Chain A
Amino acid sequence: MKQKKIISLLLAATLSFTLLAGCGSKTDEAATDTSTDAAATTTEATEGAGEVREFTAFFAVAGTEINDDNEIQSILAEKTGVKVKETWLTGQTDKEAIGTFIAGGEYPDFIEGGSGTPQLIDAGALVALDDYIAKYPNIKALFSEEDWDKLRQADGHIYFIPQFGTVKNEEKVCTHNDEAFWIQTRVLKWAGYPEVKTMDQYFELIESYQAANPSMEDGTENIPYTILCEDWRYFCLENAPQFLDGYPNDGSVIVDPKTLKIIDYNTTPTAKRYFQKLNEEYKKGIVDPESFTQTYDEYIAKLSTGRVLGMIDQWWNFAFNVNDALKQQGLDAQGCNYVPLPITIEEGINNQWHNSGAVLNVSSGLAVTTSCEDVDAAMKFVNDILAQDLHDLRFWGTEDVDYGVSETGEFFRTEEQRMNASDTAYKASHLCTYSYFPQYTGTSDDGINANRPDGQASEFYDGLHPELQECFAAYDAKTYVDMLGTNEKPGPWYPMWSFSNSLNTTTPGGTSWVKIAEVKHEWLPKIVMAEDYEGAWTDYMEVYEGTEPQAFLGEMQTELDRRMEEAAKYN
């Protein structure tokens, strides 16, 4: 009996102990809640106190951390009173990282959830920003009223601010920031700058170049064509059929602009031809056999050596790392830089690899979490760094150090300054773009300069290696965009990927979407590597039907109709 009593005593003691612990954290929460409110009303008072406030930020995309004593970050901290410690995704998918945050219940002050954003909103982790947006003019000016409305969630609130697709004043575009068939300029130069318009011509060119020049100047063997297909980045493999048929990057489906119906690009005759071509090239040894097993890092490393002649990719997915690496090694002189080609499945189809105009991503953006103790200060910081002088500091750097100003007020850079800007160590210690905070492209308020160096026509052209200049000249192009030609912005539904990105298994269409991705991840490499392509394609189509794609396409159609209806309200 006594033994039992002691046990129960012990249990009671432990229980009360843990209960106390539980309560402890509760009161903590309450305390921070009230302090948030208090802070909200007294921000003006804390301003000018001179001390730098530190916020934390997590971005669910791969990125590079900058040094703690970064120079421009310190200048920005001096001017705004705020410093943000940024961390990036490493070795996980965005949804895994966000899911882990939600399970833990504690967040950084700022967060970019990527495709995990709907989960964050569901979990009540984000602060509704409507009132703050109205309060800060620079933030408010980022988007039109119509666009802000598009960002409203089911409950009518805005929870995040898209960082990209914001053009200020006149649009200035020199780079094609999107997807394309890329090819090294040395291949084009060798062939005498031919017109390359179809996939067959593209591979024929690569094949004949490879046959004539199997290795680089230093003897490294060329890799004729590689495909990245790690995780979500497998767009390099899977979504080309939409472009080949002349449609823009809706990403997950094709939208027929006339009938406004959703078309599934996975099953079109073009898709079958595209993968068949890859299959043939794989058997010929043109497609890199490591394509389907390489990681993103291995892929970037491969491109950085200049060995890869061509690939499909998004500019933002490779160019910033790879171009800098090529430049630092002097490989641009060997013609290792990539240019895009206007490729479609047959000649005579208008390609839409490039579209002008801003693309609004309504599926994710910069958000402030409930863990942030001073939402006002956080939003004020976002507002401050959008001011033109600070924006210049972020993207151009410090005057006279990173760029010069001509007599006419035009910004320019010397070769050394360009070299610095592509040097990883220099970037980490000196430059701070806060690249996943809201920002502008387009023209500066001074009416002369572009908001970023890569949009400054003169600076852009001077910065190109002569090999690239020669290539552009041969095609009568001044910029990357001219290589492809540009198109009007597609209809008001565009882009549909901003909807499919936010799907998850809570709906039948979302479940089907997840399963489609699973099947494609496994089967697309299989059919490219298959001995018997026809048989493999039939098997693939059978498994594909098993994912009930109709459920997914149906939900896409509903969203398309909804978007068209919304847009009609503003006409």
Chain B
Amino acid sequence: MSLTRKKKEKVNEVPTKITWKEIKRQKVLLFWSFLIVVYGVVFYYLPLAGWVMAFQNYKPKDGIFHSEFIGLAKFEQLFHDATFLRVIRNTLAMGVINLVVCFVTAITFAILLNELQNNNRKKVVQTISYLPHFLSWIIVTGILHGALSGSGIINELLVAFHIIDSPINFFAHPKFFWPIVAFANIWKETGWNAIIYLAAITAIDPCLYEAASIDGAGRWERIKYVTLPGIKPTIIILLLMNVGNVLNAGFEIQYLLGNGLVKSVSETIDIYVLKWGISQGDYAIGTAAGIFKSLVSIILIVVANQIAKHNGEERLF
């Protein structure tokens, strides 16, 4: 389908012949795009050469060129390691949970905000809600640690309202960990993520709302039949991009909030890489885990894109 589309475009366009004259005419453009290409090659593609480490018994002393080549042994070791399988599960679980809840809350929040009639209040709410985005995770986890500790505000409130008898130590129970991470993500990112949806909503032609009202659509109907379809392309594109990010379920938050008791659910692939790759000096296994993560991400994004394409929706490529 994309092929036919490209062909169509080609027919419509008058193909530019590349001549010296043409190049001269576009020299400024070429120069700048050249810089971008250099940037991309240097910072995105050259470092990939380091992937070769995953197939070596890499020793920093010997470097990439003199380390012993061991083929796929490190990958085999990875997939025989129960810990690694567990971190994949954790990463996927937290990634999906985060994706879903952040997505839903951001869209809901944007729509609600849009429905606010008073412009000043709207601005105040919007500003306050996206400010947490600028806090670093270390601060957010510090606040969480304080708020959820045995003598923290959450426990005090729960006890005061007689919901529980004695304080719960939230960080000591594995079952609370994923919800806490999801909650932290919502708290920190909802306001920020809503901005792009708000922008998309603003771009919807006000005539459509007017027309809908005249046809007897209430608020709920206007949201359902005008707003949501209006921001659908934005939603799909962002969803696609986020699917590729599922395995980036986070590092700081799990690293900072985790402890021995919840380790079985808190460790993500990134923490695994840090622990076994950097800390233990086994850079090969760290790289192998990193490659695995990248490959899965690429597969996810391609599959999601194909599905979108199949359904005739917007897509990335």
Contacts and interface: CB of A to CB of B under 8 A. Distances in A.
Interface of A: 2-3, 6, 10, 13-14, 17-18, 21, 91, 93, 95-96, 99-100, 102-103, 105, 116, 119, 122-125, 229-230, 234, 289-290, 292-293, 295, 298, 504-506, 514, 518, 521-522, 524-526, 529
Contacts of B37: 10, 14
Nearest to A234: B260
Given A99-B277, A103-B283, A292 B150 contact: no
B281 interface: yes
A521 B261 CA distance: 7
A293 B261 contact: yes
B259 A293 contact: yes
A102 B283 CA distance: 10
B13 to A, nearest CB: 15
B125 interface: no
Interface string B170-183: 01100000000000
B297 interface: no
B260 A229 contact: yes
Given A10-B37, A14-B37, A96-B279, A124 B260 contact: no
Contact of B261 (A2, A295, A526): A526
Interface stretch (B38-46, B102-110, B234-242): B38-46
A514 B282 CA distance: 13
A312 B138 CA distance: 28
Given A2-B19, A3-B18, A18-B46, 14 more contacts: A6-B18, A10-B34, A10-B37, A93-B279, A95-B279, A122-B60, A289-B169, A293-B171, A295-B145, A504-B280, A505-B276, A525-B172, A525-B261, A526-B261
A289 B261 CA distance: 12
Contacts of A95: 278-281
B59 interface: yes
Given A100-B278, A290-B169, A122 B61 contact: yes
B167 interface: yes
A90 to B, nearest CB: 10
Q: Main SS of chain B's interface residues?
A: helix
B200 interface: no
Contacts of B278: 95-96, 99-100, 103
Interface of B: 18-19, 23, 34, 37-38, 41-42, 46, 59-61, 83, 138, 145, 149-150, 167, 169, 171-172, 259-261, 263-264, 274, 276-283
Nearest to A297: B142
Contacts of A521: 260, 263
Contact of A18 (B41, B60, B61): B41
Contacts of B171: 293
B273 to A, nearest CB: 11
B42 A525 contact: no
B281 A504 contact: yes
A14 B34 CA distance: 9
A472 to B, nearest CB: 34
Contact of A96 (B59, B83, B260, B274): B274
Contact of B149 (A96, A116, A290, A504): A290
Nearest to B23: A6
12 contacts: A10-B37, A14-B42, A96-B274, A99-B277, A122-B60, A290-B169, A293-B149, A298-B145, A505-B276, A518-B83, A522-B260, A525-B261
B149 A99 contact: no
Contacts of A290: 149-150, 169
B279 A17 contact: no
Contact of B259 (A3, A102, A105, A292): A292
Contacts of B60: 102-103, 105, 119, 122-125
Contact of B167 (A10, A289, A504): A289
A119 B281 contact: yes
A290 B83 CA distance: 26
A100 B277 CA distance: 10
B18 A505 contact: no
Best-surrounded residue of A13, A100, A290, A524 (most CB of chain B within 10 A): A290
Contacts of B59: 122-123
Given A91-B138, A292-B259, A18 B42 contact: yes
Contacts of A525: 172, 260-261
* Centre residue among A6, A105, A289 by max chain B CB count within 10 A: A289
A522 B149 contact: no
Nearest to B33: A10
Give 9 closest A-B pairs by Cβ, nearest first. A99-B278, A521-B260, A95-B279, A123-B60, A293-B171, A119-B281, A124-B61, A505-B280, A2-B18
Nearest to A504: B280
B254 to A, nearest CB: 14
A514 B280 contact: yes
Nearest to A526: B261
Name the residue among B46, B150, B171, B259 with the largest chain A CB count within 10 angstroms.
B259
Contacts of A14: 37-38, 41-42
A289 B282 contact: no
A60 to B, nearest CB: 11
B61 A123 contact: yes
B259 A230 contact: yes
A513 B83 CA distance: 15
Contacts of B282: 505-506
Contacts of A234: 260
A481 to B, nearest CB: 33
A522 B261 contact: yes
Residue among B171, B172, B280, B282 with the highest chain A CB neighbour number at 10 A: B280
A274 B107 CA distance: 54
Nearest to B171: A293
Contacts of A504: 280-281
A522 B282 CA distance: 23
A504 B280 CA distance: 6
A2 B280 CA distance: 51
A99 B279 contact: yes
B269 to A, nearest CB: 16
Nearest to A5: B18
Contacts of B138: 91
A292 B260 contact: yes
- Best-surrounded residue of B42, B138, B259, B278 (most CB of chain A within 10 A): B278
A511 to B, nearest CB: 9
Contacts of B83: 518
Contacts of B281: 95, 99, 102, 116, 119, 122-123, 504-506
B251 to A, nearest CB: 12
